[in-house]
Structures are given as structure tokens and as C-alpha cells.
Structure 1
């Protein structure tokens, strides 16, 4: 009986952590401890974070696709025992740039309220902040007792790049939201513009939403840009440091929700 109670307690804690994760703007990422190195290996960290690049929850049994400087792909299954982050060693046997890529996803529910679709969480009123302090709805917010939420999946493609000794060319990413930098991702400079091209199904994604957050920044401190009709946008990083660049399709809150796709790329700017 005691073992069963312990299991239930763990499940409740995990459920609350996930609700917290998605209702307080935690988003996943993957990043190395060093983007440029001469070492034979480097640690890679991944997780969910509210403050950019400050992992709070580990990814759940992710598989990482590694593309080496010769464009040869391999897979690493990382199942670290840490609760705060997923960590693994990336071997760097030869010079050049390595791409690290994985995905994370989560089911979400939306309900329509006053002609707008908003995230919905089945939470008790005493477990949630006041309605004015959150961007999601709970049952107590809705006048009707019969709630029929629309279920969608949010999927993130997470990427980063590690260069050993000297940079080598990188290929466009294979992902629902494709992102291509005019400057090598490991050779970005502060206050020097770089053009980013965004595509979906190999076609320019007009009006794509591009969000840039410096390390430690929250959603409220992010810089949000819109790509043009050709799917391109100019980025200027104001200072050296680590950044997350998040790219997704613009969403109209008055339209019925569908599956959502994001690409989140961690970068180091010199």
C-alpha cells in the first residue's frame, strides 16, 4: 500500500510539473556548454526553461540526431537521471561543425471564449492565478458546464551547432519550420545584421513569427519580429552572448486551432 501511495504521489508531482511547464511559458531547447571548442568532446544540455537557456525540467527520453562535418548522421539516446536537464556527451572526432537536433511535443487543448481561441487547462480555480494574470482558461472561467475543447499537438524542433577548431558548411534543417541563416550559425557577430529565411514545406513562410531571447530572458523580455512576405527577416543581436531564436507560423486567435510547429535554435554571438 505504501509503495502504491508513493507511485501516485510521484505521478501527481509529475502532472503538476507539466501543467506548470506549459502554463507558465516554459519552452524546450538544446545547447552545448561551448559552441566553439578544440576539445575532443563537449557536454550538451537540453530541457524546458521559463528563462531562456536556464533549464528547469529535463526532456523525456529524447533522441538526438547528430550531423557531423561530413553530413553523416547518427543518433544518441540520452536518458540522464537529472530532473532539471537532459545531459550527454557529444564526441568531436574531427574538425568542423556538428549539428544537434531533436524534437519535443505536448498535447494542448483550446476553447473558444468570446470569439477567441485560448489555451485550456483542467485546473481548479484555487490552483490557478487570477484570470487577469494568465493567458489560458480553466473551467471556472467558462459559463457553460459542457466543455468541448479542441485538441492539438505543439511540436518543437530543437537545434544547436558546435564547431571544433574551424567552421564547416551546414545544410538547411529538415523540419516542419525550416530556418536558414545567411551567416554561419557559429560565426554571428554582435551588431552585425544576418538574414534569416523561414520556410514551410520548402516554400517561403510569409509573416512568420521570429522571437529572440538572450540568455536568462523571459517571454516578456523577448524581441518579436515578423518575417516579410518572402519569409525573410533581418536579425541584429545587440551584444555578445547566448541567444534562443524561436520561429513559428503566425496564428490567428479567431481561427480554429490546428497542430503547431516551432523551430528553436540556440546560438552564441561573438
Structure 2
């Protein structure tokens, strides 16, 4: 992935930083009594390559009762569990993943820092992170932060029921039920952080199998609103986050990643 361009041996918790996590059912709308849910880390959207280890999934049933499922997958490529669907309506599925990052200031700009040998990294002009060789002779103390993802999806049995605004740090509210989206139909989203409007948030849309280079990116307006249009039927990931300002000292970063099916 160009935005990080990290050598494949740089791993965090067993996966490359080029991979991002998600959770998605194999059917978003069903009449069955249970459905399989898959989660993992993927470089190609929704194509899991590494399991989401030690994951706990919060399930909100149509009657708003909450339960927790601990999925200890025996697969290395994905985490899989069965979601029981005892009643009609929409079930919310939510989990979290995180990893630590380090930043250093280089030429008055804060950049990701990786402890990597110079002969293992591309030329500095080809990457947006720094390594010790870039800072040779300079005194520096890395700032450590956490990048946290909230992963969300929805399963509807028989008929859709209202979806509550989730408890994620970055909150996404759809003008249309997320399981009733249609191709080429505009849908408005409102983005908030801690229940406050989030202006100029980053919204990234990737169709199943797409990489970062194939993503569509846009920003919310001053009121935290954006309009999304999905060009074709199929599965998508919608990723929402604050835009990182390289001039400001890094703080913990929060993302919400929602898997959807567009009819």
C-alpha cells in the first residue's frame, strides 16, 4: 500500500500494517435462524488474510438487548462465529481492534517511525514514514499512540428494524437503513465524535477486493455531513476517521469501519 509502503517483514500482532480489520456476515439479509460472521485483517477489502485474535463481539438484538460473543478462531486466515437470529429485525455487530504506533518529528512534521534497517526500506522520497537512518545524528524521543478501530456491521432477519447510533468514538449515522442501500442511490451520512459533529472527517469507500489505491475518498462538510453513492451492487467497506494533521503532536487515532451490502 502506497500510503505506508512498509516492507512485508514489519508486522504488528502478526499482520502487516498494510492490512486493516473488518467484520462482515456472509448474508446481510436472511430468513434463516443463524448466519456465519467473518472477521479478520485484509489488504483487499473483505478478503480476510489474518484472523482477528482474541476478539469479543458485542451483539445488539432488535429488542436492544446486548450479548457478547468471544470468538476464538482455529483458523489463521479469519475469525468465524455463528450469530443466532431468534427474532425478526436488525442485529448490530460490533468489535474493536488496535495496535501501537510511534511518531517522531522530522523537518517540523510528525511522521510514523519504524525501527527498520536502511537496506530494508525504500528510499525516503518513496515513503511517508521515517527510520533511524533518516534521523542519524539527531536526538529524538518517539511519541507513542494507539490506533483503534471500531468494526461494525448489520444483519437483518426477515425485516429491517431501526439501527441505534453506536457507541464507537467515531459515530456514523445513515439517512437510509444500512441494509436497505441501493446502487446509484445517494445516501447521506452524519459523522460525530463523542456525540459532537466532526467536520472535515475522512470517509473512504472500498468495494470488496479493492485496495487502498482503488478506494474512493471524500470529506464531511462543516456540519459532519457527506453524501455517498455506491456505483454497483455488492459488498463495501466504509471507513471513517479524523484527518491526521502532521503539524500537530500525535494523539490516539480512532476509526470506524462498517461493512455493508448494496442492492
Which interval holds the TM-score relative to the shorter structure?
Answer: over 0.9
| Counterpart position of 2:33 | 40
* Pick aligned residue for 1:110 from 90, 103, 109: 103
SS in 1 for 2:12: helix
| Counterpart position of 2:180 | 187
SS in 2 for 1:141: helix
Stretches of structure 1 that go unaligned for 5 or more consecutive residues are 1-14
CA displacement at 1:145 relative to structure 2:
5.5
**TM-score, with structure 1 as normaliser:** 0.90
| Counterpart position of 1:28 | 21
SS in 2 for 1:46: strand
Whether contact under 8 Å (2:26, 2:36) holds in the other structure is: yes
**TM-score, with structure 2 as normaliser:** 0.93
CA displacement at 1:129 relative to structure 2:
3.4
| Counterpart position of 2:80 | 87
* Pick aligned residue for 1:18 from 2, 8, 12: 12
CA displacement at 1:81 relative to structure 2:
1.4
| Counterpart position of 1:148 | 141
Aligned length: 255
Q: Is 1:196 paired with 2:189?
A: yes
Residues of 2 paired with 1:254 and 1:241: CA distance?
Answer: 38
Residues of 2 paired with 1:90 and 1:83: CA distance?
Answer: 20
- Indicate how the Cα distance of structure 1 residues 88 and 19 shifts in structure 2: closer, same or farther if over 3 A, else same: closer
Residues of 1 paired with 2:145 and 2:220: CA distance?
Answer: 25
- Indicate how the Cα distance of structure 1 residues 237 and 154 shifts in structure 2: closer, same or farther if over 3 A, else same: same
| Counterpart position of 1:170 | 163
Residues of 2 paired with 1:134 and 1:266: CA distance?
Answer: 29
CA displacement at 1:82 relative to structure 2:
1.1
The root-mean-square deviation of aligned C-alpha atoms, in Å, is: 1.5
Stretches of structure 2 that go unaligned for 5 or more consecutive residues are 1-8
Deviates further, 186-195 or 247-256: 247-256
CA displacement at 1:146 relative to structure 2:
3.8
The Cα offsets for residues 207-255 of structure 1, whole Å up to 9 and x where unpaired, read as: 1111111111111111111100100100000111110000011221111
SS in 2 for 1:140: helix
- Indicate how the Cα distance of structure 1 residues 19 and 86 shifts in structure 2: closer, same or farther if over 3 A, else same: closer
CA displacement at 1:139 relative to structure 2:
1.3
